[in-house]
Amino acid sequence: MVICSESQEDEMKRKKLVHIAQEIMSSEKVFVDVLKLLHIDFRDAVAKATRQNGKPVVDERILSQILYYLPQLYQLNRDLQRELEDRVAHWSDHQRLSDIFVQKGPYLKMYSTYIRQFDNNVALLDEQCRKNTAFAAVVKEFEMSPRCASLALKHYLLKPVQRIPQYQLLLTDYLKNLPEDSEDYKDTQAALGIVKEVANHANDIMKQGDNFQKLMQIQYSLNGHHEIVQPGRVFLKEGTLMKLSRKVMQPRVFFLFNDALMYTTPVQSGQYKLNSVLSLAGMKVSKPSQEAYQNELNIESVERSFILSASSATERDEWLEAIAKAIDDYTKKKITFISSRSQEEAECVVDTGAPLGSKAPIWIPDLRATMCMICTCEFTLTWRRHHCRACGRVVCQACSANKYYLEYLKNQPARVCDHCFVKLQENSDRCASTSVSPIKPGAFSFTRKQKKIPAALKEVSANTENSSMSGYLNRSKGNKKQWKRLWFVIKNKVLYTYAASEDVAALESQPLLGFFLREEKNGPAQKLQFKLYHKNTLFYIFKADDIPTAQRWIEAFQEAMILEQ
């Protein structure tokens, strides 16, 4: 362990202080450029279009309302930028900058006025773009220009709303590294107080104050600089869910908005590390067909797909309903937005089934497959599991020796199973403009002696649909005391046994006609058990995880033991 001396620690803080001062100055320069883009460059674009058309493309009063208070903010922040640049340039002579914020304090309240009208002004911009085709064309052309970096005008209009929280974060960091005897210490405290007051005031006067405050609270809780506040974004739901990785469940805190699903990792009390923000565009949410996974839901999106688990089936259903409704509302809004275009374009918004390779698949967890889902070879320490990056199935190396360029991975080559490789090649041959591109078949061949599995054991897979019952049970053979946890399926009056819930071949199959059950009812533990007999011979003892599950299994067994007339 390296122990820093007090002088070394002071030097580190001094260096960090310089870095923060430079960041305050450089971020101000970027922000002033945004204000110039809105106040001057966009106005120039409108003026140019007016000259070309020979008449105003938009009423000057309306344009001034959309750009409300930007001239004043531009003047204020241009002065602030000049003073900050001067201080940083002469930092070695005079290490001080917070007094500038104290002096500008009264003028920072102009941000409150801008924020008060923000929602109304953005709505006015949208309305004018819908009603006024000439103005809409100017806006679109400006947004597509290199100056605008192909970002929406609303993206830039939001920047003043986000600037006050940025000041707060930067000044807080600056204060942490200031020695208490610094002449800038008291001014920094005062500046921070002013900025906090403006931020709180802005929160109170927002048209959707509660929503804005919640978005800001989420933004503050994330480590690093992340812009969670977005035009039109509304907070819907938050909570902790377990995210299933390849091997284990990991707690993640999820935030659902009207346009995205964000998930984070808790790092300390009230603070989170941002993992990903997934757009609701093209997202699907569903619950698994197997009753054994009644607390789970599947999330499929273009960027990432995964399995989540709630603490109960009720909580799972609440999340399922909330996400499904958010996706539905988002899709309807998008269709309405492009209704002025062709009907074909509007229909394209609805996802009718994404082509293979265009969306991230849900990976089958390792522990849910003990064998290759193609050739049925059992996995061992040396014959390892691999995931197909196109469909998410667990396969062996012999059945996934090929790579293919996948669209959702930005056309990077990735391992795919043999089945997907064939399908992707077929899709490539059919489509003139394909979402995926072919790559040379794998140069390595892997062989392993396969265990012969009877055809009857391959007829029904562990995750088959339309079964009478499926799920995990503990099983003991005869009167032996050793329990083994296995996956069972009852289908067409046959009991199939599997090592795991995604195995494609059964370990055993047993027709249930001629068998009968005996239930144990002595104590609570015994009520979880039931015994399977043929004539007077005890075949198996089964034990469920809870009494309701045990009762459902008993009913399914008894139904399968009766010959229908």
Q: What are the CA-CA distances from residue 102 to residues 96, 97, 99 (Å)?
A: 12, 9, 5
pLDDT number for residue 227: 78
More confident residue, 472 or 11: 472
Together in a domain, 74 and 174:
yes
Average per-residue pLDDT in the chain?
Answer: 85
Residue 17 has φ and ψ, to the nearest 5°, of -60, -45
> Which whole number is the average pLDDT over 10-31?
91
Is residue 118, in this structure, part of any structural domain at all? yes
Grade residue 353 by pLDDT with cuts at 50, 70 and 90: low
pLDDT above 90 for 36: yes
pLDDT number for residue 374: 87
Together in a domain, 49 and 104:
yes
Is residue 399, in this structure, part of any structural domain at all? yes
State how far Cα 76 lies from the chain centre: 38
pLDDT number for residue 351: 45
Q: How many domains does the chain have?
A: 4
**How many Å apart are CA 386 and CA 396, to the nearest integer?**
6
> Which whole number is the average pLDDT over 38-42?
95
Q: Could you read off the pLDDT of 239-276 as tens digits, one per residue? A: 999 998 766 788 999 999 999 999 999 887 778 999 99
Together in a domain, 214 and 313:
no
More confident residue, 330 or 481: 330
pLDDT above 70 for 415: yes
Together in a domain, 475 and 447:
no
Is residue 258, in this structure, part of any structural domain at all? yes
Together in a domain, 547 and 399:
no
Grade residue 211 by pLDDT with cuts at 50, 70 and 90: confident
Grade residue 431 by pLDDT with cuts at 50, 70 and 90: low
Is residue 349, in this structure, part of any structural domain at all? no
Write 201-208 long-range contacts (CB < 8 A, 24+): 201/109, 201/112, 202/111, 202/112, 202/115, 202/116, 202/161, 202/164, 205/112, 205/115, 205/116, 206/115, 206/116, 206/118, 206/119, 207/116, 207/118, 207/119, 207/120, 208/119, 208/234
CB 140 within 8 A of CB 45: no
pLDDT above 90 for 345: no
Together in a domain, 157 and 34:
yes
pLDDT above 60 for 410: yes
pLDDT number for residue 217: 79
Last residue within a domain, chosen from 198, 220, 242: 220
Residues paired with residue 297 on neighbouring β-strands, in sequence order: 308
pTM, entire model: 0.52
Is residue 346, in this structure, part of any structural domain at all? no
Query: CATH no. for residue 445?
Result: 3.30.40.10
Query: CATH no. for residue 470?
Result: 2.30.29.30
Together in a domain, 379 and 468:
no
Is residue 348, in this structure, part of any structural domain at all? no
pLDDT number for residue 448: 57
Grade residue 300 by pLDDT with cuts at 50, 70 and 90: confident
pLDDT number for residue 76: 95
| Least confident interval from 231-240, 263-272, 298-307, 447-456 | 447-456
Q: Could you read off the pLDDT of 150-205 as tens digits, one per residue? A: 888 988 998 998 898 889 889 999 999 999 889 899 999 999 999 988 887 766 65
Q: Name the residue among 208, 229, 250 with its Cα closest to residue 163.
A: 229
pLDDT number for residue 449: 54
Residue 467: which domain range?
457-560
Together in a domain, 401 and 373:
yes
Q: Could you read off the pLDDT of 83-110 as tens digits, one per residue? A: 999 999 999 888 899 999 999 988 988 8
Query: CATH no. for residue 103?
Result: 1.20.900.10
pLDDT number for residue 334: 72
Last residue within a domain, chosen from 176, 196, 220: 220
Last residue within a domain, chosen from 220, 249, 265: 220
**How many Å apart are CA 467 and CA 492, to the nearest integer?**
8
| Least confident interval from 54-63, 335-344, 359-368 | 335-344
> Which whole number is the average pLDDT over 13-36?
93
pLDDT above 80 for 209: no
Tokens representing residue 362 in the block: 């849900």
Is residue 342, in this structure, part of any structural domain at all? no
Grade residue 332 by pLDDT with cuts at 50, 70 and 90: confident
**How many Å apart are CA 333 and CA 325, to the nearest integer?**
12
Query: Sign (positive/negative) of CA torsion 175, 181, 186, 187?
Result: negative
Grade residue 446 by pLDDT with cuts at 50, 70 and 90: low
Tokens representing residue 63 in the block: 């344009």
Grade residue 141 by pLDDT with cuts at 50, 70 and 90: very high
Grade residue 82 by pLDDT with cuts at 50, 70 and 90: very high
Together in a domain, 175 and 79:
yes
Grade residue 447 by pLDDT with cuts at 50, 70 and 90: low
Q: Could you read off the pLDDT of 497-507 as tens digits, one per residue? A: 999 988 999 99
pLDDT number for residue 346: 39
Element (H, E) at 125: helix 110-131
Grade residue 445 by pLDDT with cuts at 50, 70 and 90: low
CB 278 within 8 A of CB 260: yes
Together in a domain, 420 and 490:
no
CB 219 within 8 A of CB 203: no
Ranges of H-type helices in 144-184: 153-157, 159-176
pLDDT above 90 for 563: no
Together in a domain, 253 and 396:
no
pLDDT number for residue 10: 77
pLDDT number for residue 267: 87
Q: Name the residue among 300, 309, 487, 507 with its Cα closest to residue 392.
A: 300
> Which whole number is the average pLDDT over 122-126?
86
440 C-beta neighbours (distance < 10 Å), count: 8
Together in a domain, 162 and 200:
yes
